[in-house]
Chain A
Amino acid sequence: MNKFNPKTILDNLTLAADWVGLRLVTETTTYRLVRDGKPQTNARETTRGIMVEVLADGQFAYYGTNRLDPVSIQQAAEKALEQAKLAARYAVHKFTVDARPAAVGEFISPFKRGVDTLSAGELNELLLKSNEALKVSDKIVSVNSLAQIVETEFHYVSTNGSDVKQNFLMVSSDFVATAQDGPVVQKRTDGGMLAKSHQTGMEAFDETAILDRCRIIGEQAVELLSAEDCPTAKTDLVLAPDQMMLQIHESVGHALEIDRILGDERNYAGWSFVHLEDIGKLQYGSELMNITFDPSVEHQLASYAFDDGGLKAERQFIIKNGKLVRALGGLESQIRSGVPGVANFRASSWNRQPIDRMANLNLEPGNSTFEEIISSIEHGVYMETNRSWSIDDYRNKFQFGCEYGKLIEKGKLTRTVKNPNYRAITTPFWSSLKMLGNRDTFKIYGTPYCGKGEPNQTIRVGHASPVACFENVEVFGGA
């Protein structure tokens, strides 16, 4: 099985297609979850298969199969060709091979310690210790510690000369404490559900650092039990990077995916308030707002060298000084729309076709220290860590909730507040960005769980951000 070489298979295919691409994907995901001092999950999932993609009569079609023998792949290619020819009469767009540039190269994600340097037993032991560290009080009614390790190998070859190998090692973790006092229940996590997701190795499981974090998580869960609810007000809102990642993702990333703007997603995730003619003109936010698509950030979850269409991945400004200058679309979308895009044509695995995904999308840091931001505010609320998210199908009206809040009074962080939420509309919200943290406040997060597409796909994205301050935002508390 391991000697399977897509290049050899491709060379031996007999097919009257204008182009053929093969994308072999092998991915192993290891989950280890310890809850309340007992192992809950020790699971390893492996998926391995090949996406055969063909172009005929201007239409791409695919066949995804986990049967990795030459006969099955030949049959898959023939069936994909049949689908392409049937669909070509109704094609949204007639493509040429220009949509799949020849690409040759390799990418290996950075890590210090490989998977084999930490045994299942050792990792369980660490997770058990972290459970103990989370349980700082009898009021902690449940704790869990999760480690997720993903090893992915891509090998993409095509009849026009592509040969790309990309190997990734990714680690996600989460540590959760739930505290209860009578009817009041509060939960605190380590930056949000699997927000600590990076391209890294087993060095991510640093015991001292994890246990320190767990004690703080437990203490803050208990602290929230006696906190007052977040007040209802229109006020200054300061968001920590672990909430900004969600803010960027939902109200910038998805809104700017070109396939959404072109209407491909209208039956599922939705459309966008952004139109093609807005690119180069729309003032999306205040002049402090600089958003980059950056697949080159070391250790960020969605760094890579080429997208799944073979386009070389490069850093690009998407929003510069608040103005929308470029959108998020791979070559197919760029050809269809005629607007500039990026290398983000990506598939979740061998059994899904590539579509426009945001990958690493970051808010560049500003100049203010955290202290300068807080001290400038007479009345406001500071919020950390996403716990609830919802936005409309045009990416306009959003409501987000956080785990942990602090009142800001007369330039100082004062009382802790629970159930902090806020709601707003995208461009007025980003236009209200009035202070932006410097690089000292800048943190890199990611999530393995961005959903989109029909058929549905879950993909990894990365978001980095400084602390950010928005003025005159509607904030409120719990039920």
Chain B
Amino acid sequence: MYDVFEQVCNRIFNQLKTEEYLTISLRGENSQFIRFNRARIRQTGLVEDMSVSLKLIIGQRTASGELPFIGVEDPDYQSVFDELERLRKEVVQLPEDPFIVLPQPGDSTHEVHTGDLLPKDEVTDSLIPALKDVDMSGIWAAGNIYRGSANSAGQVHWFETETFSFDYSLVTPEEKMVKATFAGRHWNREKYNAFAADSIHKLEKMKLAPKKIKPGKYRTYIAPAGVADLIGMFSWGGLSEAAIQQGDSAFLKMRNEKIRLSRLFTLKEDFSGGTVPRFNALGEVAPEILPLIEGGRLVNTLVSSRTAKEYGKISNYADDWEDLRAPVMTEGALAEKAILEELGTGVYLSNLHYLNWSDRIGGRITGMTRYACFWVENGEIAAPIENMRFDDSFYNFFGPELEAVTDEARFIPDVGTYAGRELGGVTCPGILLKSFALTL
């Protein structure tokens, strides 16, 4: 696929006039999806989908277009050329944009991560037997994912990977649930069977009689999957420099009032794991590591080149949305085996659900507890809890209420598929909080 992309881009760049600048980015996948309910198959299918996006710049004007890409050079070239012609006609009608960023020359990159995936016709017989005796609902997604970027200044970047993910929930007859995700590049039947058996073992704990707790502030442990959801909020009116400049960020207080979070909270962008490409649509390559919050201090935000130009900042080559692409939260000192003992009496939350800012400027996030969440008494799991709503500010739970951070960070893969299968995920440990507000 790379060869077709490169050839089409080269032919198109050769068609550009002197005053024209162009970037072309590609996004695609070849995927198998199998949807399960009650450990049986609800829906199944295959999707091959690819598209390219063009951004044409002439003088101080720019317009962009996205169109299907099928991976066959001549028809793809023709449709991309037709789109270029359309953009040429449109761009002259548009107002000038003083913050346009021109594509720059630089080194090209090429990453291909070959996997060892299950053959498509072996998936059902491989997945179902290990979970056939439990009520399971979930989604299998597997295949190739492609990302590409090329610009008229000569850069070409390519990222290709083969991955699978089996994201599922196990359910007791009393409707208590455990969540698990088995994902990677190399399928291993033995590891999968052991993973599935562990999920079933965890489900046993959910069969204890549930405890209903009252709204209030509780000593709380949040496991890495829940912490990943909280950090995920920082991609939405969070660490974006543009959001801060436009009064739309939860980090305004940290920037303007120099408020500091807990010394135990450190967050960075770290691309060294190789799960996502470092290049953006403009062809810019982000630094391998970018510290964001160090020991509770905001040291960097995510700055795209356009934002840098508009607000007089230095770009760190964030993408247009200035969202987190490879977030890693630093581990702490709390041994995982000591979590229950250190929690003592309180709430153990494995997962959170449906988060939203309830007061963005105040850093307040609301959401639900979900899946394996327990009441813990004197260092021992006493009962699963009924789901509770939380509503609390990260200025509290990543601030003075953060008591300890576990000593092992986990990679929580992004299994989202809205615009196609996503790449990457959040790497983070669990957090022990002196208090956390449960409200309903």
Contact = CB atoms under 8 A, between A and B. Distances in A.
A362 interface: no
Interface in B108-154: 120-121, 124, 128, 137-139, 141
B51 interface: yes
A228 to B, nearest CB: 15
Contacts of B91: 42
B34 interface: yes
A141 interface: yes
Nearest to B132: A90
Interface string A24-35: 000000000011
A43 B66 contact: yes
Nearest to A121: B93
Contact of B44 (A47, A61, A457): A61
Given A64-B47, A478-B364, A389 B356 contact: yes
Nearest to B35: A454
A239 interface: no
Contacts of A90: 40-41, 124, 128
A59 B246 CA distance: 51
B94 A121 contact: yes
A183 interface: yes
A66 B48 contact: yes
A127 B368 CA distance: 39
Given A62-B46, A185-B361, A458-B418, A397 B440 contact: yes
A296 interface: no
A421 B356 CA distance: 13
A404 interface: no
Interface string B54-76: 00000000111111111010000
Contacts of B141: 455
A79 B46 CA distance: 8
B98 A43 contact: no
Interface in B74-121: 86, 90-91, 93-99, 120-121
B169 to A, nearest CB: 4
Given A392-B354, A399-B439, A82 B35 contact: no
B33 interface: yes
B95 A39 contact: yes
Chain B: interface secondary structure? strand
A67 interface: yes
A49 B49 contact: yes
Contact of B45 (A42, A119, A353): A353
A421 B248 contact: no
A13 interface: no
Interface stretch (A263-271, A409-417, A433-441): A263-271
Interface stretch (B8-16, B217-225, B251-259, B287-295): B251-259
B66 A46 contact: yes
Contacts of A392: 353-354, 368, 370, 387, 389
B362 A39 contact: no
Contacts of B316: none
B354 A421 contact: no
Interface in A251-295: 262-268, 270-271
Nearest to A72: B70
A263 B138 CA distance: 10
A243 interface: no
Nearest to B396: A479
A472 interface: no
Contact of A87 (B48, B86, B124, B439): B124
Contacts of A183: 252-253, 256-257, 361
Contacts of A63: 45-47
Given A263-B137, A392-B354, A456-B418, A86 B248 contact: no
Given A39-B62, A142-B246, 17 more contacts: A43-B64, A45-B65, A45-B66, A46-B66, A64-B46, A65-B49, A66-B68, A66-B69, A124-B94, A124-B95, A264-B42, A265-B137, A270-B370, A393-B387, A399-B389, A454-B35, A455-B47
B18 interface: no
B45 A61 contact: yes
Contact of B63 (A43, A62, A178, A185): A43
B38 A46 contact: no
A150 B342 CA distance: 54
A270 B353 contact: yes
A264 B136 CA distance: 10
B58 to A, nearest CB: 12
B47 A423 contact: no
Nearest to B70: A67
A38 B358 CA distance: 30
B366 A59 contact: no
Contacts of A66: 48-50, 68-70
B173 interface: no
Contact of B440 (A351, A399, A456, A478): A399
A42 B64 contact: yes
A268 B179 CA distance: 10
B366 A388 contact: yes
B167 A267 contact: yes
A83 B119 CA distance: 12
Contacts of B32: 83
Contact of B359 (A264, A265, A479): A479
B305 interface: no
10 contacts: A35-B246, A36-B246, A62-B46, A87-B44, A178-B248, A184-B361, A263-B37, A263-B38, A267-B138, A454-B33
Contacts of B68: 46-49, 66
A345 B169 CA distance: 24
Contacts of A39: 62, 94-97
B3 interface: no
Nearest to A83: B44
Contact of A89 (B53, B124, B138, B357): B124
A120 B93 contact: yes
B367 interface: yes
Given A66-B68, A455-B141, A478 B362 contact: yes
In this complex, the member of B47, B72, B245 whose beta carbon has the largest number of chain A beta carbons within 10 angstroms is B47
Contacts of A421: 358
A315 interface: no
B385 interface: no
A99 interface: no
B401 to A, nearest CB: 14
A180 interface: yes
A262 B37 contact: yes
- CB-CB nearest 7 A-B residue pairs: A479-B362, A121-B93, A62-B45, A454-B139, A455-B417, A142-B246, A45-B66
A369 B62 CA distance: 49
A303 interface: no
A352 B417 CA distance: 10
A180 B354 contact: no
Interface string B426-440: 000000000000011
B65 A351 contact: no
Contacts of B175: 271
